[in-house]
Structure 1
């Protein structure tokens, strides 16, 4: 149970209803019926499809009468998350049978008092399945007394649903491409594991360079900082940095598409390390002499782990910058400075100068149907996807109060969880201490030993439809997610046959 704050409970008056059950008033208004609160709860819940729900979110617990109805009607395995804004009321309810029973019932999770406001900051539908049915319930008296909190909570819940849907859509679109690329990149699996960088840059300033339009405003200020900061370029910002005469220490890539490969292919200087997800286009890995690879925890990671050469995972949430943020936290960098991280079409543009999109026609009004307040207090065009990425950033930043995050973009909509400073001021705060970032990268760069036995093992698994090692289920989760959700056995068998053909081609060379 989360009980992180005590709201003013107001005036609480307990009395006996005409039915003999206990009832209560809050600030003179009935929270439960003065006649029969048990019958009231039954009637209220009668129109709700409780039996169909996998996850129930209940706003307003009171003395637990609705909870008792839910316990009788919900199917086994259903989770119930209860939001009770009035901490004083919840303490009183502990003496009543409905609450006592729910507290013993492992499926009930109580979020009480001020902690209700922050709930979705920490719980982004974690542990929920793509097929789960959600049931949102608002107890009317709670909704009336806590309207502002309720609306904020519902907005956060809608964001979580939006983000989960976006992730699922990405899974549908990219699963096959990811596996094909990872298989084609098997020859690069001997590259260094990104995990060997974890903890190696403790308190070293890091500048994460993205290619938002605001990068043009301050990219020149980054010159000369190479010996004081770890400069980590995103794939899209490599060409703008090189055009400005700045060579980053490393460039990061995570998008498996051919379009994104064009940002890097043929452009990586010899001394620059590539930090890449193992399922990107092979042309990207071919462009660099020295590579640190990471996984996403998806197949074929479990396969490679069986044979001792799996790569460490990074958290990637739709954008390579999210992977860079996770890497920064794991490497120990502090402070972490963002530039070019607009999450918006600042100044009416999509990207900084010198990207592969430079010079192409673009309309911020047409491409960005939404508007958000930027750091200057002005409305700027953006998209739901970019807002989702921004929200992910903000949630992630709040989980690491030990790290100072500085938004030196000088534009865009990233406001929460960061200090907003001009890049010159942010760099001044890093001090004059020199750090040989290249030497640390060189020291941590180690070749891994791989074996083709991993490929022959998986081919055998596919041919025999073996279920004993978990590989085939992980493979189908990646490449046939929609078919699994729809229980489409025909498509599932076609995906297995497709996998067999790919494996035979890979082994044949």
Structure 2
């Protein structure tokens, strides 16, 4: 992805700096030796429709005139630049004054040498709110000179944007469910063990992560009689498969809020003795049905406040396998062994036949013709069909593995996509090499929290949330009235009244913002409103600004009213809880 071509910096006939690249015995200009200004003006016209808030992703370092041109039309933009020529990058570092224009606010020259580094940089710089406002381009003829590098960069940009879009779509889809699961799971979190209390408790203990990929059929039977020698971590989909083979997992993890999460474990989760790993977003029926020990992680600061500790967030994205892998790492497990982690449609199957939904037929497990024709390298060096989502899961897993080089990761799936950073081995060989000839006791002698104290903290925090929510309802109602009056005075142009109502709205804004900052519980349910405002066009006219504010206040008011009763109900329910004492 990076090359080291020599280059010259010259001056075009119309007085602009121009790069001349030495490639394959030829010398090629970036732009035109004679009409460089005309070239720049032409591409600036193409970008004229961009607005404040747009993100430019540019392949190749532009010249100063282009950067000044796009900033002239739009001051509040973000510019992300990838330069494939390492010699030019080094020159810029050593000749700072010549390229001082790259120090403008919100200009980011990627310091990345390979696809993975570029991908990670893009994921940090592009927000989900940016997705509808991205301009992606090659600077002039960079794409012709650096054709192979451009091809690779295109692929990385596509993957990064797809993965950010997947995250956005998940948040948009589950925004109400996450609020529901939080309120319904709260009473079960009170008596659960924060994952922090398990940190490094199982140092150098091997752990197997059981996933439901098509290859699980090949080696699930090898898990018999090893549960005291190796920890076995299972997602919900594979619980039935294990139980029906008399294999008891050390830990079950369920994080999905959807109804399918419960359907996959129904009639099995109720009877299992295995501890459950969950968080506030887990389907509440799963949490309620599970009768054993529970372990929590969290992505909500309210839970930190309740427990008076920074509870670890091991939700690293992707599937439950990713979260179980992060859990194994956090617990100190080493090596971490994957089975059923195909991350592909091995044998044209969605899942292992033994792990499909218990209410579905086996023939429904065959991949349909509508599935995307995306292929990746498999564990044997051949090609295997996958999907955008599964390929995203693979990349996320590879990033996690790359970030944890002190841990050995073994892919014992015996099929599916190749996972970079893992050692390929059969499960039998992995068990033979790594199993401990000692008895592992999972979740024994672990420090417990003071449930009474946690219960009282929860009630106290819920009371504050109710007060803040009621204040938001009061201020939101005032804001809508003020906007109605402001609209009238804008039409007749009465400046003193306009200023009065604008000042009043600013005061209301401050009060709502102050209350909203205390309401982490509303984060997911208000997300679509925030997304629609931040990803939409910036309002320019008085009418657009008023409509934008009206939409915001009405949305906040509606949400605040909607959540008030459920929050009161959960508080009352927790107040009536009786804490069992050992």
Higher helix share: 2
Would the aligned equivalents of 1:309 and 1:450 in 2 still touch at CA under 8 Å? no
Tell me the distance in 2 between the aligned counterparts of 1:176 and 1:221. 41
In 1: Cα distance, 2:154 partner to 2:261 partner: 35
Is 2:318 the counterpart of 1:323? no
Matched, 1:434 2:438: yes
**Which whole-Å CA distance do the structure 2 matches of 1:127 and 1:20 have between them?**
34
What's the offset of the Cα at 1:98? 5.0
Within the alignment, does 1:9 sit opposite 2:11 as a pair?
A: no
Q: CA 1:346/1:90 → structure 2, altered by over 3 Å: closer, same or farther?
A: closer
In the TM superposition, 1:99-118 aligns within 5 A as 99-103=99-103, 105-111=104-110, 115=113, 117-118=115-116
Deviations 1:232-283 (A, max 9, x none): 1111111111122211111111011222113334424554111112232333
1:56-81 superposed Cα distances (whole Å, 9 cap, x missing partner)? 222111655433434444423x3322
Give 1:392's match in structure 2, choosing from 390, 396, 402: 396
- Deviation, 1:485, is 2.8
The alignment partner of 1:364 has SS state of coil
Matched, 1:419 2:423: yes
Q: 1:473 to 1:238 in 2, by over 3 A?
A: same
- State the partner residue of 2:183: 183
Partner of 1:482: 528
On the 8 A contact 1:83/1:116 being kept in 2, the answer is no
CA distance in 2 between counterparts of 1:233 and 1:54 reads 43
Q: 1:446 to 1:208 in 2, by over 3 A?
A: farther
What does residue 223 of structure 1 align with? 224
CA distance in 1, matches of 2:28, 2:400: 40
The alpha-carbon distance between structure 1 residues 500 and 209, as it changes in their structure 2 partners (threshold 3 A), is same
**Is residue 2:238 matched to residue 1:237?**
yes
Task: Give a deviation string over 1:123-178, Cα, whole Å, max 9, x none.
Answer: 25225433222222211332112111112111111112112222112112212112
Which residue in the other structure is 1:159 paired with? Answer: 159
- Residue ranges of structure 2 left out of the alignment (5+ in a row): 473-511, 534-550, 574-582
CA offset at residue 498 of structure 1? 1.1
Secondary structure of the structure 1 residue equivalent to 2:123 = coil
Distance 1:445 1:370 in 2: 50
Q: Which residues in structure 2 correspond to 1:313-392 (within 5 Å)?
A: 313-352=313-352, 353=354, 355-357=356-358, 359-362=361-364, 363-366=366-369, 368-373=371-376, 374-392=378-396
Match of 2:142 in 1: 142
Indicate conservation of the 8 Å contact 1:408/1:422, yes or no: yes
Instruction: Select between 281-290 and 150-159 the one with higher mean Cα deviation.
Output: 281-290
Specify whether residues 197 and 173 from structure 1 end up closer, same or farther in structure 2 by C-alpha distance, changes over 3 A only.
same
Distance 1:136 1:473 in 2: 37
Superimposed CA distance per residue, residues 281-327 of structure 1 (whole angstroms, 9 cap, x where no aligned partner): 333223132000111x2xxx233333445643222424212211222
CA contact (8 A) 1:63 1:90 kept: no
Equivalence for 1:505: 569
In 1, Cα distance between the equivalents of 2:155 and 2:335?
Answer: 31
- Tell me how large the CA RMSD over aligned residues is: 2.7
Residue 446 of structure 1: how far off its partner (Å):
4.2
Relative to 1, partners in 2 of residues 1:195 and 1:266: Cα closer, same or farther, differing over 3 Å? farther
Matches of 2:29 and 2:108, distance apart in 1 = 25
Partner of 1:404: 408
Task: Work out the CA distance in 2 between the residues paired with 1:494 and 1:166.
Answer: 27
Contact 1:37 1:65 in 2 (8 A): no
How far the C-alpha of 1:381 sits from its partner, in A, is: 4.1
Which residue is equivalent to 1:41? 40
The answer to whether residue 294 in structure 2 is matched with residue 291 in structure 1 is yes
List gaps (5 residues or longer) in structure 1. Answer: none
Asked whether the equivalents of residues 2 and 114 of structure 2 are also in contact (C-alpha less than 8 Å), the reply is: no
Partner of 2:129: 131
Paired residue total: 496
For residue 110 of structure 2, give the secondary structure of its aligned residue in structure 1: strand
Question: Structure 1 pair 13/233, CA: closer, same or farther in 2 (3 Å)?
Answer: same
User: Deviations for 1:361-414, whole angstroms, at most 9, x for unmatched residues?
Assistant: 313134633342432345444332222222221222222222221111111124
- Which of 448, 455, 458 is residue 450 of structure 1 equivalent to? 455
Name which of structure 1's ranges 242-251 and 482-491 shifts more when overlaid on structure 2: 482-491
Which residue number corresponds to residue 466 of structure 2?
Answer: 459
Asked which structure has the greater CA Rg, the reply is 2
User: Take 1:51 and 1:172, find their aligned partners in 2: how far apart are those partners?
Assistant: 25
Partner residue, 2:67: 67
The partner residue of 1:280 within 279, 282, 291 is 282
> Normalized against structure 1, the TM-score is what?
0.88
- Counterparts of 1:383 and 1:183, CA distance in 2: 34
Partner of 1:30: 29
SS in 2 for 1:143: helix
* Structure-2 change in CA distance of 1:371 and 1:108 (3 Å): closer
With over 3 angstroms needed to count, the CA separation of the structure-2 counterparts of 1:124 and 1:84, relative to structure 1, is closer
| TM-score using structure 2 length | 0.78
Report the CA distance shift for 1:32/1:469 in structure 2 as closer, same or farther (over 3 A). Answer: same
After TM superposition, give the deviation of residue 91 of structure 1 in Å.
3.6
Q: 1:444 to 1:204 in 2, by over 3 A?
A: farther
Mean Cα deviation higher: 355-364 or 144-153: 355-364
1:206 touches 1:231 (CA, 8 Å); kept in 2? yes
